[in-house]
Structure 1
Amino acid sequence: MKLSERMINSLLRTFFRLFFRIDRSELAKVPQAGPLLMMVNHTSNLEGPMLYAFLQPRPLHAIAKQELWEHKFMAYLMNTWKSIPVDRQNMGRSTMDACFKVLDEQHILAIAPEGTRSKDGCLQEGKGGVAFIAHKKDVPMIPVVVMGFNSFSKNIKRLKRTVITIKVGEVFEIIQKGGRIDGDTRQALADEIMLRLAMLMPNERRGHYKDHPISFTLTKTVKA
Structure 2
Amino acid sequence: MNLTGRFITFIIKRILKILCKVEGAKLESVPRQGPLLLVFNHINFLDIPLIYTLLLPRNICGIAKKETWNNWFLRILAKVWGAIPIDRETPSISTFREAGKALKEKKILCIAPEGTRSGTGVLAKGYQGVVFLPYKIVPQY
TM-score, length-scaled by structure 2: 0.93
Q: Quote the residue 1:41 is aligned against.
A: 41
List alignment gaps of at least 5 residues for structure 2. Answer: none
Q: CA deviation at 1:25?
A: 5.8
Alignment of 1:51-130 (within 5 A): 51-130=51-130
Displaced runs of 4 or more, over 6 A = none
Q: What SS does the corresponding residue of 2:101 show, helix, strand or coil?
A: helix
Partner in structure 2 of residue 144 of structure 1:
140
In 1: Cα distance, 2:128 partner to 2:6 partner: 35
Task: Determine the structure 2 residue equivalent to 1:180.
Answer: none
**Number of equivalenced pairs:** 141
Structure number, greater radius of gyration: 1
- Deviation sequence 1:121-167 (CA, Å, 0-9, x none): 2110121111223xxxx21110012xxxxxxxxxxxxxxxxxxxxxx
Distance of 2:14 and 2:24 partners within structure 1: 14
The Cα shift of 1:72 comes to 2.0
Q: Distance in 2 between matches of 1:63 and 1:92?
A: 12
- Separation in 2, partners of 1:80, 1:30: 22
- Which of structures 1 and 2 has the larger relative contact order (alpha carbons within 8 angstroms, sep 6+)? 2
Change (3 A) 1:26 1:104: same
Distance 1:63 1:48 in 2: 10
Quote the offset at 1:119 in angstroms.
2.5
Please state how far the C-alpha of 1:56 moved relative to its aligned partner: 0.8
CA distance in 2 between counterparts of 1:67 and 1:2 reads: 24
% identical equivalent positions? 38
- One-letter amino acid of the structure 2 residue matched with residue 143 of structure 1: P
What residue number does 2:4 align with? 4
Q: Which runs of 5+ in 1 are unaligned?
A: 146-224
Q: Name the SS for the 2:11 alignment partner.
A: helix
Change in Cα spacing, 1:31 to 1:67, as seen in structure 2 (3 Å) is same
Say whether the 8 Å CA contact 2:39–2:111 is kept in structure 1. yes
Contact 2:29–2:138 (8 Å) recurs in 1: no
1:120 to partner: Cα distance:
1.9
2:31 alignment partner, SS class: coil
Q: Secondary structure at the match of 2:49?
A: helix
